[in-house]
Amino acid sequence: MKIILGGGVIGVTTAYYLAKAGHAVTVVDRQPGVALETSFGNAGEVSPGYAAPWAGPGIPKKAIKWLLMKHGPLKLRPTLDPYMWLWLVKMLRNCTSARYAVNKGRMVGIAEYSRDCLKALRADTGIQYDDRAQGTLQLFRTQSQVDHAVDDIAVLKDYGVPFEVLDPAGCIAAEPGLAAVPEKIAGGLRLPGDETGDCHIFTQNLAKLAADLGVKFLFDTRIDGFVTEGDRISGVATSAGVLTGDDYILALGSYSPFLARPLGIQIPVYPIKGYSITVPIVDEARAPVSTVMDESYKVAITRLGNRIRVGGTAEVSGFDRTLRIARKATLDQSVGDLFPGAGDLARSSFWCGLRPMTPDGPPVIGGTKFRNLYLNTGHGTLGWTMACGSGRVLADLLSGRNPETDLSELGLARYR
C-alpha cells in the first residue's frame, strides 16, 4: 500500500501512475474533494518553455521597482515568521548567473518530460480538461522589453526550446483578439510547444480514472503527523485513525514542511500567494485563443473553454489567504487593457492560492532519510506544468524502475 498525503494535482498524478504500475494506493486530504486549494484556480498554463527560477541575476533590483509599482507583480507583507526571512535569504543567494543556469537546467528537464507524459496520458485515456495546444505568447508593450528579450532567447536556444520572435503584426496573427489594441504591442516571443488547460477539471477527471484503477480517496481527513520506528515510517496519524502502508509520499504543497520538521527533515518550501480571476467570455472574436503573458504586469491571460483565466502576482505574506481587492484590480487592468470587451469582468470570480516555492526554483522530488518516505512538493508556479512528469518519475522510483528523466539533482541533497 502506498499512502499519498495531498489531493492536489501532484498527489493525484502520483496516485494514478502508481496505480497504473500495479500498486494499491490511498490518497488522504483534508478537503472534501481533489484540487480544491492551489490546484483549483491557477493560470492554466502548461509551459515548459517558461520553466525558470524566480531567483536570477537582476531580480533584487527589479524587485525594488516592482514593490513601488501600483500594479506591480510583487508584494511583500512582512511577518515575524523566521521561515519567511530564511527563505528570502536563500532565494537571494540563488540570484547569480551561475546558480540560475544550474537551476534552470533542472527545471527544464522535468518540465519538458512532464509535457510528454501529459501528451501520452491524453492519448491513452482521452482525458479532457478544456485543453488546447496552441502555444504561449509573451507580449512586450515597450521596446525596452523587446530589447531585453535577447537574454531569454539565448536561454531558449541553449535548451532547444522552439520559439518565434514576432513583430506587432505577428502577435496579432497569433492572437487575433489583440487587433483592437495594436498601439499597445511592441513585439512578442511565442513558444509554440506550450499548452493550456483547466488544472482543476484535469485533476477531477484523473481522480476518477485513478479510482477506476482501485485508488482509494479519504477526503475530509485531517493529517496530524507521522509515526516512526527507527529509520522507517510505520504510520500516519489522521482524524480517521492511524493509516499504515509500505511507502508514504508527502505531496502537501506549502504545508509539507509542517509534517517533515518533527522528523528532522527541513524542506525549504514557503508559500507565495498568487491570485486569479475567471471571466466569462461575451465576445469570442475579442478573446485570447491560448495564453498571453503580459510582460508589463507579469500576468498570464489564458483561454479555458468559454472562460478567460487571468493569473498573477507574487505576494509574500505567509499562509494568509485574504483576497485583497487591489490584486484583483491588477488582473482586471491587464485583461481589460489587452482584450477589451472579451469578457464580462463584472461577473468574474476572484481566487487566491498558495504556491509552494523553493528558494532555488526546482521542486523537491525523491527519498528522505526515512527509507519509505518520499517527497513530491515545491513546484511553485509550475505544479500544473510539472505534475505528470513528477508523478511518473516517483511511481517509477517506487516500482524499482529507472526514471526516464534524471532525479539526482531534484532531491533534498542539493541543499546540503
Name the band, by pLDDT with cuts 50, 70 and 90, for residue 83: very high
CA-closest candidate to residue 100, choices 157, 49, 151, 53: 53
Does residue 151 surpass a pLDDT of 80? no
3-state SS, residue 364: strand
Residue 45 and residue 384 in contact, taking contact as beta carbons nearer than 8 Å: yes
Task: Please tell me the distance from the alpha carbon of residue 177 to that of residue 334, in angstroms, as a whole number.
Answer: 14
How does pLDDT run across 11-36, given as a tens digit for each residue?
999 999 999 999 999 999 999 999 99
Q: Tell if the pTM clears 0.75, that is, is over it.
A: yes
How does pLDDT run across 268-289, given as a tens digit for each residue?
999 999 999 999 999 999 999 9
Residue 268 and residue 87 in contact, taking contact as beta carbons nearer than 8 Å: yes
**Percentage of the chain exceeding pLDDT 70:** 100
Does residue 239 surpass a pLDDT of 80? yes
Strands 25-28 and 241-243, sheet pairing:
unpaired
Beta-carbon contacts of residue 136 (< 8 Å; ≥ 6 apart): 45, 47, 49, 50, 190, 191, 194, 196, 290, 291, 292, 293
Distances 326 to 73, 77, 102, 190, 352 between C-alpha atoms, Å: 12, 14, 36, 30, 13
Does residue 157 surpass a pLDDT of 90? no
How does pLDDT run across 293-324, given as a tens digit for each residue?
999 999 999 999 999 999 999 999 999 999 99
Name the band, by pLDDT with cuts 50, 70 and 90, for residue 253: very high
How does pLDDT run across 174-232, given as a tens digit for each residue?
999 999 999 999 999 999 999 999 999 999 999 999 999 999 999 999 999 999 999 99
Beta-carbon contacts of residue 349 (< 8 Å; ≥ 6 apart): 41, 277, 278
Task: Please tell me the distance from the alpha carbon of residue 411 to that of residue 407, in angstroms, as a whole number.
Answer: 7
CA-closest candidate to residue 186, choices 148, 138, 149, 141: 141
Strands 195-196 and 364-367, sheet pairing:
unpaired
Beta bridge partners of 166: 188
How does pLDDT run across 50-79, given as a tens digit for each residue?
898 989 888 888 888 888 787 888 888 888
DSSP one-letter code for 399: T
